[in-house]
Amino acid sequence: MGHIIPLFEFAMHLVTQHNIQVTFLVITTESAHAQNDYIKSFNPHPNFHIVNLPPADMSGLLASDMTDVARLSVIVQESIRPLVSILSKLKGPKLKALIIDMFSTDVFDVCKELYIPIYSFFTTSTEILAFALYLPTLDQEVEGEFMDLLKPVNVPGCNPIRIQDLMDQVRNRKIDEYKWFYLHFSRLPMATGIFVNTWDDLDPVSLKALEHEPFFLNIPTPPVYYPIGPLTKKIEPVLTEYEKEIMAWLGKQPKDSVLYVALGSGGTLTSEQLTELAWGLEMSKQRFIMVVRKPSDYAAAGYFNAGSGSDDPKAYLPEGFAERTNRVGLVVSSWAPQVKTNYLN
C-alpha cells in the first residue's frame, strides 16, 4: 500500500492537472484487500484507465519463509511476462512512456523492444535513493558485512548513516533479500529519469547531493530527478459500517486527545513487543486507537494481507486488556481509515 497509493495519486495528478491520458497497470497476484478496496474507491475518469494484469501462476515459486521483497520481486517477475502483449493492445494514443515502481525493474528487460522511455518511481526518501545509487560502489569496496563496519556509511554529499540505522535488507549480503535489493538498485541507471515522492524542503541535503555531488555526476545515473511530492492519499469521505463505528467512537472523545498507534500498511510486532506496547498504553491512561495485527517475528509480515481484518485482536493482547481500556481506548483489527479519520475530524 505504501507503493500503490503514491503511484495511483501520481497517475491521477497526470490526468487531472496535466491532461495526460494514463493507463494504470495493476498486479493482481496476491493483492491485498486494502489495495483492492482502495482502487475500487476511485470514480471513473475518461483519461484514466485501469488494466488488471492477469493473475500469474505462482505454483512452486513462493515459499512460506520468503521475505516480502523476495516475494514481491518474484510476483512482479511472473506478472509482467505478458506485458508487451497487453501494452500493444491498449486503445487510444500511442504509448509515450512507462513509469514503473522501484521493485519492477524486470520491465527494463521485458520492454526493451518497445524503444520507449522508462522512468522509475521511487516511493521512499531521496536519502534512500542516494544510498541505492551508491550501493553497487559500497558493495565492491567493503569486505564482509555492512553491519560489521566500525564507522557510519558515508554516501557522498549526504548525512552519514549509522550502522544500526541501515535497512534490514542490506545488513546481511548472503540473504536473498539483499540480492533482490541489489538487483533493483543496480538497475536504476537504466531509467530515463527518476520520480521521487518528496519535495525540495523535505530532503534538501540528499537532493543537492544527487544534483551536484561529483560522485553522482560521474556514474551512469539517470540525468534527471523529479521531486514530485508530497503525494498523499485523497479519498471521498464515504464510510463503511466498520469505519462508521470507529468514527462514532472518535467523535465522543475530547478534541486532540487520542493517540493513533499503527505500524504502517504491513508492519507487525512480536508477541512480546505487542504485549509491552499494550501494557504501556494501559498504564499511560492515554486515550488511543491501536491497530493490531497477528504477531510475527518478521517486522513486515502484514504487507500481503493488509486490510483483511480476519483475526480477533483480543487473541494477541494481554488478557482483559480490551475490557480494562474500553472507556479510553479502541482496538482495531488490521486496518484503520486513517485518512478518512483525519479528513472528517
Residue 308 pLDDT level (bands cut at 50, 70, 90): low
Give CA angle at 306 (335, 130), nearest 5°.
110
Residue 335 pLDDT level (bands cut at 50, 70, 90): low
Residue 345 pLDDT level (bands cut at 50, 70, 90): very low
Hey, where are the domains in the chain? 4-227, 241-344
Q: Phi first, then psi: what are they for 98, rounded to 5°?
A: -120, 140
CATH of domain 4-227: 3.40.50.2000
Of residues 274 and 232, which shows the higher confidence score? 274
Of residues 318 and 333, which shows the higher confidence score? 318
Q: What is the pLDDT of residue 118?
A: 93
Range with top average pLDDT, 102-106, 231-235, 292-296, 306-310: 102-106
Q: Which residue has the cell 512480536?
A: 270
State the average pLDDT over residues 50-61: 89
pLDDT in tens, 194-213: 999 888 888 899 999 998 99
Count of residues making up the chain: 345
What residues act catalytically?
3, 101
Query: How far from chain centre, in Å, is Cα 176?
Result: 19
Q: What is the pLDDT of residue 14?
A: 92
Q: Which fold has domain 241-344?
A: Rossmann fold (3.40.50)
One fold for both 4-227 and 241-344? Answer: yes
Q: Phi first, then psi: what are they for 130, rounded to 5°?
A: -60, -40
pLDDT in tens, 73-112: 999 999 999 999 999 888 878 899 999 999 999 999 988 8
Q: Which of 301, 295, 268, 265 is nearest to 71 (CA)?
A: 301
Strands of the chain, DSSP E: 22-27, 48-53, 98-101, 118-122, 194-196, 225-227, 258-261, 287-292, 329-333
Q: What is the pLDDT of residue 30?
A: 81
H or E stretch covering 129: helix 126-141
Amino acid at 299: A
Of residues 316 and 157, which shows the higher confidence score? 157
Q: What is the pTM of this model?
A: 0.79
Q: Decide if 83 contacts 113 (C-beta within 8 A).
A: no
Q: What is the pLDDT of residue 288?
A: 93
